[in-house]
Structure 1
Amino acid sequence: MHSSSRTHPIDADEALKLGLLKEISNDPKVRALELARQLAELPSVSLASSKTSLERTLFDNMESCLKDEVNVASHCFAQSDAALGYAHFAARKATTPRLGHDTKDVAKGKIRDLNTALSSSVANYPKRPFFRFGGRGATFQQFDIAVGALAGGLRKADIAPGDRVLAMMRNSVEMACSWMAVNRLGAIWVPINPELKSVTLKTQVIEDASVFVKSPDRAGPQSFSNLMDLAPPVTEPVIVTPATTSALLYTSGTTGKSRACVLSHEYFLLQAKALIDSCELRDSDVLYCPFPLFHLDATALTIVPALLLGAVAALSVRFSASKFWDEIRATEATVYNYMGATLAITYKQQPNERDGDHNVRRAWGVPLPNFAQEYEQRFGHSLLTLYGSVESGLPVFQRLGVPSPQGSCGRVRRGYQIRIINEWGDEVPANTPGHLLIRSGHPNAMLKEYFGDPAYTASAFRNLWLHTGDLAKVDEHGNMYFVGRDKDVVRRRGENDNAKEVEDEFFCHPDVVVAAAYGVPSQLGPGTEDDLKLAVQLHPGSTVTEDELWQWSATRVARFQVPSVIEIVQDIKRTPTGKLDKSAMPLVGGKWFDIRK
């Protein structure tokens, strides 16, 4: 740390606001002793090696830490009595990591991998309910027993640390067990969409996957039930580090090719802790998620928070507007997750006397619709929103109790930094849309890489910033606004059409269930930018026509936002997480209109 003493110190409060510090120590000497204790718990390696490793772990941005704190810690480690101090603390018995209901152990670094998190949860509250799905339930202890049994079968099938294990199953207790069982062996869980077929499936199956875990209702030498009975259970997990890869999760691929993100054990814990803190989750909560386990929301943001809190994770097979509230009531959910068009579809259901008959106190997700206030009043609970992705984690979140401007997804969380730049890489002024860049000082807070694609990884992290592919803006108060995907903006007649804004306008039409706006090749020929097409799904029995929808839009939106072509469709395909799948939208078809009139 001696190099830190040559830097110019900055004010502690300012460092905290900028996200350069996780906390301000009340007593630098106490902080130094904490570092020494953690050093004593490391394996017996050289003092210099331990010191360097510990500094990197505890001081994410050493040059920005308080000068006095750094100097005291440096003195304890680097001065002549360091060896004596190390020997003193090394003689102490290392404390066993124990999980508290407030998850402070995660923040303090005692629990930094999923294996330890599960073991601690089982030790702390074995008989508590942990999992609810389809009328079935499992306590933490029952879940752990199933994980051990499956891990035994996988080990018998020669699964070893670092192997990639493909899981192609619908949501179930067994699917969740497969994740923890694979990680218990030090292997990597690769969940993929069970509905994939043909070419798309081929591109997502990792060629070197070690075993194919089939659905529990299918027979075969590697079916779930056979693996559970194949060998004695594995009760002791393989030792892993916080950076050990836990899983590969695919991006949603709504505007292009899906890519596998390499995610560490600690990544999942950090995202869960962020959600717990931002939503003020409790150990008494039942966390309901209608999205699949091959997605971040059901894994890092439902199962893991429940694991850390001793709460309940309640999953559904898939999102269904007609069954949504019935499942929430059946699972006794107190917090649920929304995404994509799910709130819009739910809100379009006919109001009934049971709208307020539930235990929900809060819901979180993206995007927050423009009818959020009406939704909250109708269903009697608050809505929170954020900005996040598989790649970045949760860098932006609304703050409870702090008024948030309309359209904002919150402010940057401590430990993250964002930049909004133009096409030349220059930062733009406040309230100016641009390309969103993100980075974090927390180790393992973001993806490690895109699997098997070093060139794309290098491009995404050019200049040491994650280029998200999203457009956003930040106001003068630090509130961030998501504008849209870079590929979700249609360049037409010199104007940028934001697809989401057009979709929001058409959602206000009483006959429209959902609408998808996207670009199609212009009839004026190649090189003339794109035209805006709108696919519209109507309520059953509606007789509204494309002409009537076009005339209606011409009176409500800016001229450049009026669609060139409208097509009424029976259904709009969505991803398993409820997002509109625009990569599957037809480029031909529909009725064209002359927007020059």
Structure 2
Amino acid sequence: MTATLPGRLIHQAQARPEAPALVFDEETITWADLADLVLRTSAWLRGRGIGPGDHVALLCGNRPAFVVAFYALANLGAVTVSVNTGLVGEGLRHSIVQSGARAVLAEQGLLDQVAADIAPVLRERRLLAFGGEADLFAAARACAPDAIYGGPGSEPLSIIYTSGTTGLPKGVLNCHEAYLASGRWMAASLAITAADRIMVCLPLFHANPQMYALMSALETGCAVVIRPKFSVGSFFDDARRFGCTMFTYVGTLLAMLASRVRERDTDHRLTRCVGGGCPPEVWRAMQDRFGITPYELYGMTEVGGWVTGNSTEAYRFDTCGRVRPDMEVLIVDGHDEPVAPGTPGEIVVRPKKPFTLLLGYWDNADASWQAARNFLFHTGDLGVFDAEGFLSFRGRLKDVIRRGGENIAPAEIEAALLAHPDIDEVAVVGVADPIFGEEIKAVVVARREIAARDVRRFLEGRVARFMLPRYVQFVAALPKTETAKVIRRDLLALPGAIFDLAEARRD
């Protein structure tokens, strides 16, 4: 029974019924209450036609309703399609349509914000909307609890969309066991116990909080403290208010804390944080200024969340730690031959245990096959192992821009800009940034003079806000190879004026 998420949930409900499982503002949900709500929500969803194998798009913000819905869908044997709440237009519709979602389960407030964008896809799908916890939980409590899901841990559980180098994002399909294994080894690596309280500030639709926080809680019985969003101003006050002991991060979150909170602050219970993308200077600031130890790891949605990480037993500054015991991680050359320690190459992964990596890219056999060349999952990332087995991340072989924890495909922005009547060609590239990791630069070949701010305004409503470029540069021609492919590396050092739209972004 414990090989699935509902099985682990029931285990914790029986072992720690009165202990807090979820904390949100003034609301605390115990493990027993959470299990009861999940089984009743499962029954409510089943009564509305959701069953085993169905894909359901979940559009919900950071709140207990997301967790309850996620576990309830798992109890039905359904697959949750975690919808990025920042998406608009075609990007939003793509995740719902491409995933094969039969239904959309949505928070009414978010639904109202994208009503026009989402309307076309709702004509062919069931819509289940709720106003908030009071609304959803009242409907659930009117139902008798469902039986506990009895399927195997290898059954599909989740689709999360992640951007590739070209085209629209791909849907990563993961199973129960991949999620549980992430939490199992995370708890062991960071010595997480039932006494911990993990603060979640990152969006719950991401693999990071799902696999690092929720699964660690399912493994240990600790509490998850959900915050609606990350705020520098309230971060440490929230940590004190809720007695948080750790949190998950992307590099942007830590960089913002380090750059904007200059005073020393150790008056809190936070001891550690876990995630990826922490620069050395920020790492030092977290330790010296705030008394918080970053546990840097290497991972992605496709590899079950993470495959190497620093731990309480093996820790090295400015590395991504050692390989997880149930994984094999290699550094290979262009022919997939392993290279010696100290030699950079592509990071590839192979599981030692079944069903701990992605089941595949949903409805994208070509992408699944290409990523699994020679029975190794090719991450497209560059890394190097030292002599003692600690991994260092050296950048990406792919063209994906990683801004503030979001993977952004340049092609998606380029396609939107090419619809502009006065833009002839465009190329988008990532520019190093100390806060967001990378910022976005659009290099434009225009048919006539255009204001830089008009380029950004044209994209508003066509792509998510986090995809709006900070920099715009106008050129007479894009740098290209003999076969007319854009030379992206040359986009960073083109001569001419570059317009900085930082104030216009405000995000």
Alignment TM class, shorter chain as reference: 0.7 to 0.9
Match of 1:516 in 2: 439
Does residue 484 of structure 1 match 2:401?
no
**Residues 1:395 and 2:307 aligned together:** yes
Q: Does 1:370 align with 2:324?
A: no
Matches of 1:280 and 1:320 in 2, distance apart?
27
Counterpart residue number, 1:59: none
Could you tell me which residue of structure 2 aligns to residue 529 of structure 1?
Answer: 487
- Pick aligned residue for 1:568 from 494, 497, 500: 500
What is the alpha-carbon distance in structure 2 between the residues aligned to residue 563 and residue 135 of structure 1?
Answer: 55
1:263, CA displacement in angstroms?
A: 0.9
Q: Distance in 2 between matches of 1:216 and 1:285?
A: 32
- Secondary structure, counterpart of 1:374 in structure 2: helix
Distance 1:254 1:138 in 2: 41
Q: Which residue does the alignment assign to 1:87?
A: none
Q: Does 1:235 align with 2:167?
A: no
2-structure distance, mates of 1:155, 1:489: 39
* Structure 2, unpaired ranges of 5+: 113-125, 402-428, 445-474
Equivalent residue letter for 1:351: R
Match runs of 1:463-478 below 5 Å: 463-478=374-389
Aligned partner of residue 260 in structure 2, secondary structure = coil
Q: Structure 1 175/286 Cα, relative in aligned 2: closer, same or farther at 3 Å?
A: same
Match of 1:409?
320
Q: CA 1:227 to 1:411, structure 2 compared with 1: closer, same or farther past 3 Å?
A: closer
Partner of 1:429, secondary structure, is coil
> What residue in structure 2 maps to residue 278 of structure 1?
189
For 2:28, give the aligned amino acid: G
TM-score, length-scaled by structure 2: 0.76
> Is this contact kept in 1: 2:479–2:491, CA < 8 A?
no
1:183-332 correspondence runs (5 A): 183-206=74-97, 208-215=100-107, 222-224=128-130, 225=135, 229=139, 232-251=143-162, 257-332=168-243
Report the CA distance between 1:122 and its aligned residue. 0.9
Is the Cα–Cα contact under 8 Å of residues 255 and 278 in structure 2 kept in the other structure? no
Deviation at 1:203, TM superposition (A): 1.1
Could you tell me which of 161, 169, 172 is aligned with 2:63? 172
Quote the Cα distance in structure 2 between the aligned partners of 1:172 and 1:279. 25
Residue 61 of structure 1 corresponds to which residue in structure 2? none
* TM-superposition CA deviations, 1:305-341 (whole Å, max 9, x none): 1122111001221222222222222221101111031
Return the offset for 1:232. 2.0
Corresponding position of 2:294: 383
C-alpha separation in 1, matches of 2:503 and 2:166: 18
| CA shift for structure 1 position 533 | 5.8
CA distance in structure 1 between the partners assigned to 2:249 and 2:18 by the alignment: 29
Q: Which of residues 245, 250, 258 is equivalent to 1:334? A: 245
Name the SS for the 2:210 alignment partner.
Answer: helix
Contact kept, 8 Å, 1:368 with 1:384, in 2: the verdict is no
CA contact (8 A) 1:396 1:410 kept: yes
Moved more, 173-182 or 221-230: 221-230
| SS at 2:320 equivalent | strand
2:15 to 124, 130, 134: 124
Distance 1:487 1:317 in 2: 32
Q: Are the counterparts in 2 of residues 255 and 487 from structure 1 also a CA contact under 8 Å?
A: no
Equivalent residue letter for 2:307: P
The equivalent position to 2:268 in structure 1, one of 349, 358, 362, is 358
Q: In structure 1, what is the equivalent of residue 364 of structure 2?
A: 453
CA distance 1:228–1:213, shift in 2 (3 Å) = farther
Match of 2:5 in 1: 114
- Aligned residue for 2:367, secondary structure, equals helix
- The CA distance in 1 between the partners of 2:147 and 2:219, in whole Å, is 19
Tell me which amino acid in the other structure corresponds to 1:356. Answer: T
- Higher-strand-fraction structure: 2
- Aligned pair in 2 of structure 1 residues 221, 513: CA closer, same or farther (>3 Å)? closer
Judged with a 3 Å threshold, the aligned counterparts in structure 2 of structure 1 residues 153 and 515 are, in CA distance, closer, same or farther, namely closer
Structure 2 contact 37–68 (Cα < 8 Å) conserved: yes
Q: What's the % identity of the aligned pairs?
A: 25
- How far the C-alpha of 1:356 sits from its partner, in A, is 1.3
> How many angstroms apart in 1 are the aligned matches of 2:315 and 2:336?
32
Instruction: Tell whether the 8 Å contact from 1:471 to 1:482 is kept in structure 2 after alignment.
Output: yes
Q: In the alignment, which residue of structure 1 is the partner of 2:120? A: none
| SS of residue in 1 equivalent to 2:188 | helix
Q: What is the rounded CA distance, in whole Å, between the counterparts of 1:568 and 1:488 in structure 2?
A: 22
The CA distance in 1 between the partners of 2:234 and 2:222, in whole Å, is 23
* Aligned match for 2:355, one of 432, 435, 444: 444
Q: Provide structure 1 residue ranges, at least 5 long, that are not aligned to the other structure.
A: 1-96, 98-110, 491-498, 535-560, 579-597
What SS does structure 2 have at the residue aligned with 1:272? helix
Say whether the 8 Å CA contact 1:345–1:514 is kept in structure 2.
no
What TM-score do the two structures reach when normalised by structure 1? 0.65
Q: How many residues align?
A: 423
Contact 2:245 2:271 in 1 (8 A): yes
Shifted more, 522-531 versus 115-124: the winner is 522-531
Partner of 1:592: none
Whole-Å separation in 2 of the counterparts to 1:411 and 1:137: 36
* 1:259-278 deviation per Cα after TM superposition (whole angstroms, max 9, x unaligned): 11111111111000111011
In structure 2, give the amino acid aligned to 1:245. P
Give how far 1:449 is off: 0.7
CA distance in 1, matches of 2:495, 2:257: 26
Name the CA distance, whole Å, in 2 between partners of 1:384 and 1:272: 15
Instruction: Give yes or no for contact 2:172–2:302 (8 Å, CA) kept in 1.
Output: yes
Aligned residue in 2 for 1:72 = none
Whole-angstrom CA distance in 2 between matches of 1:248 and 1:327: 31
Aligned to 1:420: 331
**Secondary structure of 1:157's aligned partner:** coil
- Secondary structure of the 1:487 match is coil
State the partner residue of 1:142.
33
Question: Could you tell me whether the CA contact under 8 Å between 2:37 and 2:137 is conserved in 1?
Answer: no
Contact 1:122 1:144 in 2 (8 A): yes
Instruction: Output the CA distance in 1 between the equivalents of 2:62 and 2:164.
Output: 20
Structure number with larger C-alpha Rg: 1
Amino acid at match of 1:234: P
Code of the residue aligned with 1:123 in structure 2: it is Q
Aligned partner letter, 1:144:
A
Name the SS of the counterpart of 2:348 in structure 1.
strand
Q: Is the 8 A contact 2:251 2:437 kept in 1?
A: no
Cα offset, 1:465, TM superposition: 0.4
Task: Give 1:365's aligned amino acid.
Answer: G
Partner AA of 2:90 in structure 1:
V
Distance (Å, rounded) in 2 between the aligned partners of 1:195 and 1:402: 37
Q: Deviations over 1:404-452 (max 9, x none)?
A: 2x53211212222222222233333332222111111111111111111
Question: Which structure is higher in RCO with an 8 Å CA cutoff and minimum separation 6?
Answer: 2
CA displacement 1:346-396 (0-9 Å, x = unmatched)? 11114236x111101111111221111232110012111110111112211
